[in-house]
Amino acid sequence: MSKAMTQANKKRSIHALIEKSKSEISRAIPKHMDIEKLTRVALTTIKQNSKLLSCSETSLIASVMQASQLGLQVDSNLGYAYLVPYGTECTLIVRYKGLIKLARNSGDVTMI
């Protein structure tokens, strides 16, 4: 099987897994977030980074779920959080903008 075919199969598999996990993710996200947008952004992020396709599906969905619980999108354009591949494991990395957003959302911080 060619590498392109394997990546296409992996993309479809991840897409199906995220679609299947939408109900779980939607229960975890804050009320201000839209599940459709969140999953669409996560899928786009995963598809844009071919190294993420070599990560285990479990670690990918766990990282997306963790970002969702925090109320952060894994969109590199916003810079709140990133999905980073470490070998075959995907790890969520929250950047400083994400930490600032979390602090402001807590209500305990008014100015940074």
**pLDDT by residue for the chain (112 residues), tens digit each?**
556 557 777 778 888 888 888 888 888 888 888 888 888 888 888 888 888 888 898 999 899 889 988 888 887 777 889 999 999 999 999 999 998 888 888 888 877 7
pLDDT at 68: 87
How far is CA 31 from its chain centroid? Answer: 17
Q: Is the pTM of this model over 0.85?
A: no
* Pairwise CA distance, residues 45 & 47, whole Å: 6
CA dihedral 65, 14, 93, 108 (to 10 degrees): -30
pLDDT at 81: 92
